[in-house]
Amino acid sequence: MNRIDNKKNVKSTVIALVCILAFWGILLLIENLNLILPNVPKLFTPTSKLFMVLRKVIVYSLIAVSMNLLNGFTGLFSLGHAGFMLLGAYTFAILTTPVSLKVPVDGIFYKYGGSIVNFSLQEAFGSIFGNSGAGGAVSLVLGVLVALIISGLVAALFAYLIGLPVLRLKSDYLAIATLGFAEIIRTIFQCEVIKLPGGGELVLGKLTNGANMIKGFPTLNSFNITNATGQTTLYLSTVVPAIIVTACIVVIVLLINSTYGRSFKAIRDDEIAAEAMGINLAKHKILSFCISAFFAAVGGALYAMFATTYQAKPFTSVLTYEILLIVVTGGIGSVTGSCIGAFLYIACSEWWLRFLDEPMMIGAFQVPLLKDGFRMVVFSIVIMIVVLFFRKGIMGTKELPDLFKKRKVKAKTEGTVTDNAK
Amino acid sequence: MQSMITTLLTGISVGGQYALIAIGYTMVYGILRLINFAHGDVFMVAGMMLIWLAAILPLPVAIPVVIAITILLGFCIERAAYLPLRQAPRMSVMISAIGVSYLLQNVITYLTGGQPMTYPTIPFLAQTVEIFGTKQTMATMITLPAVILLVVALTFLINHTKVGMAMRAVSKDFETSRLMGIKINNVISVTFIIGSALAAVGSVLYFSNYPKIVAVSGALPGLKAFVAAVFGGIGSIPGAVIGAFIIGICENLIKATPYSVFSDAFTFAVLVIVLIFRPTGIFGEKTLDKV
């Protein structure tokens, strides 16, 4: 029995790997289609809406999945994701903004006399591997990856500290407390100077640039490979984030399918029963909270790379709500659902429903209602319909493979039952 | 000294305005066990309604009409977004509330084109009165008596009328009160109607201190009023009122210090501290989890 299971596992792993590689390959291909074919449709040119949407979808998928890990798989209704994203984005930007922008006078930190983090990771790597050609690429990728991991760890640390007291709360109280913490984090990052009671000053602006914009850090477009004349020879700005995000999601999926993941689900289904079965509630809750914060922060950092410039202002509770609505549309408790939800959400709001914002004429008849903002009204009505009448979302708790092998799953569960009986 | 008095009076009046919103939160939570995330946005819609109606109607007519429309809005939200989910898990209802909040904000953004709207000056509320040598607007002075009056009326309604008795019964036990012949849906509607009416009154008092309002203007006062409700013990009306006054006064005291940027953060810090050490708030009832 065990051997068959192993074979099956190997087989499904191989299928999954092939699918992922195929996904990366297709993405790479369509992104570079305009380099191979001379006259591609406008849709496939690198500046088209398609790639903008794809990049945003990729980033949002990770954030939605990380929220789903917490809300869908562990049953902890947390609304603090904007805060973790903000932590990730800031840590990433502070660590990677070039030193030339951190100088006291002309840099972006000019208001505070320069930044106190007087180095930048990819430049530090650049001094080892060289700044141009292959060495430059290596130092860029290493710098970005290390910065992403550090930003995740910072958020996880914060999540641990927040989680210690907060995770004792139940359902809606937890939601409100995490929402409150996200707001506190945002206020602190927007604050410029704290006057200490002893008369000293803590100039936070030196670290966070106050409420001002941070820019100049590596963006997704930095991954494109250009030749000496500045012409792009290979577009990688969609593929690289896709690779990072897929790797993160694979880690989350592996976690969900592990013993820890099963404990998370047990806690979601019934806390008291889970405790009775010997699951350490506090430990597992905080673990789930920290991991979710880690990936939310990585997502937040990628979001900063996507947006190229950012400040603390948009990381409000509305952002958390958006992600929550993505998770709900996709199906609470389904990783595939979150990715599909992110795609539909972003594609609709950024692309497919855009026409609702433009005045439209059919003949001499002006279509009523169409003007700026109507898209979001239609969009939120659609979301309300999903929330009210399709509560399970698109996928429910199913994953992509479940759609293909319904019968096999049934047979398998029967098999394990008899196995246990022996 | 004078600035101290001004700070205190402003704090009391802001606290009173939060109290009017907080009652809506606490009553709905007491009966449905639902955090009505849309309540802050209902409050904002009431403000927007007054802007539009004041343009076409004289103010003494416009204000009652605004209150009526807000009541209708609260009633419709309950019927459309919460009633279908009565048997659903609590999380779904909360998500629905978040959805309604998102919808209301987007509708208002659409209708206003995202522009800040100028709030009309209400002559009666804008006139200044002198008290302890400081000049205050009427809106600041009238809030406290208005809140006291409304809360007394509400307490009377809850303790001495049939509807109030039904409300208390439903908040104690949903199923049993249904078996006793109480029409639960009607009681819940009445709760939403009272909450919305108070929010409308609160919005008139609150926004008359601000020159302009936008689609997200309701979010922050809404959250703060919610914190007040939790602070006082969610589900308890006196708790919500006292909590709101404490939050309002403390917030304005902090605004008078060099730490004014942290006045919002302070509110949430209070929330977190209260939730950790006394999750049931000052007046809340302790509930036990049953297996």
Q: Per-residue pLDDT averaged across A331-344, rounded?
A: 89
- Confidence bin at B126 (pLDDT 50/70/90): confident
* Chain A residue nearest residue B271, CA to CA: A177
What is the pLDDT, as a whole number, of residue A66? 93
Q: A130: which residues sit within 8 A by CB, 6+ positions away?
A: A136, A139
pLDDT in tens, B213-260: 888 888 888 888 888 888 888 778 888 899 999 999 988 888 887 777
B179 burial type by CB count under 10 A (0-12 exposed, 13-18 middle, 19+ buried): exposed
Token code pair at residue A337 = 């659902």
CB contact under 8 Å between A372 and B107, yes or no, is no
Give the range with max mean pLDDT: A5-19, A186-200, B227-241.
Answer: B227-241
Token code pair at residue A332 = 């609470």
Q: Per-residue pLDDT averaged across A198-208, rounded?
A: 71
Q: Which residues of B touch A191 (CB under 8 A)?
A: 261-262
What CA–CA distance (Å, rounded) separates A155 from A289?
10
CB contact under 8 Å between B265 and A325, yes or no, is no
Q: Give percent of chain A above pLDDT 90.
A: 20
Q: Which residues of A touch B80 (CB under 8 A)?
A: 388
Q: Per-residue pLDDT averaged across A383-407, rounded?
A: 78
User: If DSSP states are collapsed to H, E and C, what string results for chain A?
Assistant: CHHHHHHHHHHHHHHHHHHHHHHHHHHHHHHCHHHHCCCCCHHHCCCCHHHHHHHHHHHHHHHHHHHHHHHHHCCCCCCCHHHHHHHHHHHHHHHHCCHHHCCCCCCCCHHHCCCCCCCCHHHHHHHHHCCCHHHHHHHHHHHHHHHHHHHHHHHHHHHHHHHHHHCCCCHHHHHHHHHHHHHHHHHHHHCCEEECCCCCEEECHHHHCCCCCECCCCCHHHHCEECCCCCEEECCCCHHHHHHHHHHHHHHHHHHCCHHHHHHHHHHHCHHHHHHCCCCHHHHHHHHHHHHHHHHHHHHHHHHHHHCCECCCCCCHHHHHHHHHHHHHHCCCCHHHHHHHHHHHHHHHHHHCHHHHCCCEECCEECCCCCCCHHHHHHHHHHHHHHHHCCCCCCCCCCHHHHHCHHHHHHHHHHHHHHHHC
Chains A and B: how many Cβ contacts under 8 Å?
128
Compare B128 and B16 and report the one with higher pLDDT: B16
What is the pLDDT, as a whole number, of residue A414? 47
Q: Which residues of A touch B262 (CB under 8 A)?
A: 187, 191
Q: Are the beta carbons of A244 and A302 closer than 8 angstroms?
A: yes
Considering only CB atoms, B272 lies closest to which of A181, A373, A381, namely: A181
pLDDT in tens, B157-213: 988 999 899 988 888 888 888 898 888 899 999 999 999 999 999 998 888 888 888
Instruction: Return the SS3 of A95.
Output: helix
**Mind telling me how many Å the CA of B198 is from chain A's nearest CA?**
23
Q: Are the beta carbons of A354 and A375 closer than 8 angstroms?
A: yes
What CA–CA distance (Å, rounded) separates B251 from B265?
10
Query: Nearest CA to A29 among A177, A327, A331, A234?
Result: A234
Question: Would an 8 Å CB–CB cutoff place A376 in contact with chain B?
Answer: yes
- Of A206-210, A242-246, B66-70, where does mean pLDDT reach its minimum? A206-210
B212-213 and B134-137: which strand pairing? unpaired
Q: Is the pLDDT at A91 greater than 80, yes or no? A: yes
What is the pLDDT, as a whole number, of residue A405? 64
Question: Would an 8 Å CB–CB cutoff place A374 in contact with chain B?
Answer: yes
What is the pLDDT, as a whole number, of residue A204? 74
pLDDT in tens, A311-329: 877 788 888 988 998 998 8
pLDDT in tens, A291-305: 999 999 999 999 988
What CA–CA distance (Å, rounded) separates A73 from A86?
23
- Confidence bin at B73 (pLDDT 50/70/90): very high
Compare A390 and A111 and report the one with higher pLDDT: A390
What is chain A's mean pLDDT, rounded?
81
- Confidence bin at A199 (pLDDT 50/70/90): low
What CA–CA distance (Å, rounded) separates A352 from A342?
14
Domain map (residue ranges) of chain B: 2-277
Q: What string of DSSP letters covers A304-321?
A: HHHHSSB-STT-SHHHHH
CB contact under 8 Å between A176 and B279, yes or no, is no
Q: Is the pLDDT at B146 greater than 50, yes or no? A: yes
Considering only CB atoms, A175 lies closest to which of B33, B94, B276, namely: B94
The domain B2-277 having CATH identifier 1.10.3470: the answer here is yes
What CA–CA distance (Å, rounded) separates A172 from A161?
20
**Mind telling me how many Å the CA of A188 is from chain B's nearest CA?**
8
Q: Per-residue pLDDT averaged across B137-143, rounded?
A: 82
- Confidence bin at A406 (pLDDT 50/70/90): low
In B256-288, alpha helices (H): 263-277
Q: Is the pLDDT at A252 greater than 80, yes or no? A: yes
Q: B229: which residues sit within 8 A by CB, 6+ positions away?
A: B22, B25, B26, B29, B239, B240, B243, B244
Instruction: Return the SS3 of A329.
Output: helix
**Mind telling me how many Å the CA of B237 is from chain A's nearest CA?**
18
Q: Are the beta carbons of A370 and A358 closer than 8 angstroms?
A: yes
Compare B142 and A103 and report the one with higher pLDDT: B142
* Chain B residue nearest residue A374, CA to CA: B110
What CA–CA distance (Å, rounded) separates B187 from B78?
11
Q: Which residues of B touch A316 (CB under 8 A)?
A: 219
Considering only CB atoms, A388 lies closest to which of B85, B216, B268, namely: B85
CB contact under 8 Å between B268 and A373, yes or no, is no
Token code pair at residue A413 = 């569960």
CB contact under 8 Å between B110 and A190, yes or no, is no
What is the pLDDT, as a whole number, of residue A289? 93
What CA–CA distance (Å, rounded) separates B148 from B254?
25
H or E, element range at A337: helix A335-347
Question: Would an 8 Å CB–CB cutoff place A1 in contact with chain B?
Answer: no
Q: Is the pLDDT at A418 greater than 50, yes or no? A: no
CA-CA distances (angstroms) from residue B108 to A47, A279, B104?
A: 32, 47, 6
Compare A134 and A54 and report the one with higher pLDDT: A54
- Confidence bin at A197 (pLDDT 50/70/90): low
CB contact under 8 Å between A372 and B262, yes or no, is no
- The torsion region of residue B210 among left (phi > 0), alpha (psi -120 to 50) and beta comes to beta
B-contacting residues in A 353-372 (Cβ below 8 Å): 371-372
What is the pLDDT, as a whole number, of residue A422? 37
Token code pair at residue A119 = 């180095």
pLDDT in tens, A338-385: 999 999 888 888 888 777 777 777 766 767 777 777 888 888 888 888
- Of A95-99, A181-185, A208-212, where does mean pLDDT reach its minimum? A208-212
What CA–CA distance (Å, rounded) separates A261 from A279?
12
pLDDT in tens, A207-244: 777 777 777 788 877 777 777 676 777 788 888 888 89
CB contact under 8 Å between B259 and A195, yes or no, is yes
A232-234 and A225-226: which strand pairing? antiparallel
Question: Would an 8 Å CB–CB cutoff place A184 in contact with chain B?
Answer: yes
What CA–CA distance (Å, rounded) separates B73 from B104?
10
| pTM, two decimal places | 0.86
What CA–CA distance (Å, rounded) separates B149 from B155?
10
**Mind telling me how many Å the CA of A104 is from chain B's nearest CA?**
25
- Confidence bin at A386 (pLDDT 50/70/90): confident
Compare A342 and A419 and report the one with higher pLDDT: A342
AA letter at A359: P
Token code pair at residue B133 = 């040598």
pLDDT in tens, A67-90: 999 988 998 888 889 999 999 998
Q: Is the pLDDT at A25 greater than 60, yes or no? A: yes
Q: Is the pLDDT at A38 greater than 90, yes or no? A: no
What is the pLDDT, as a whole number, of residue A247? 92
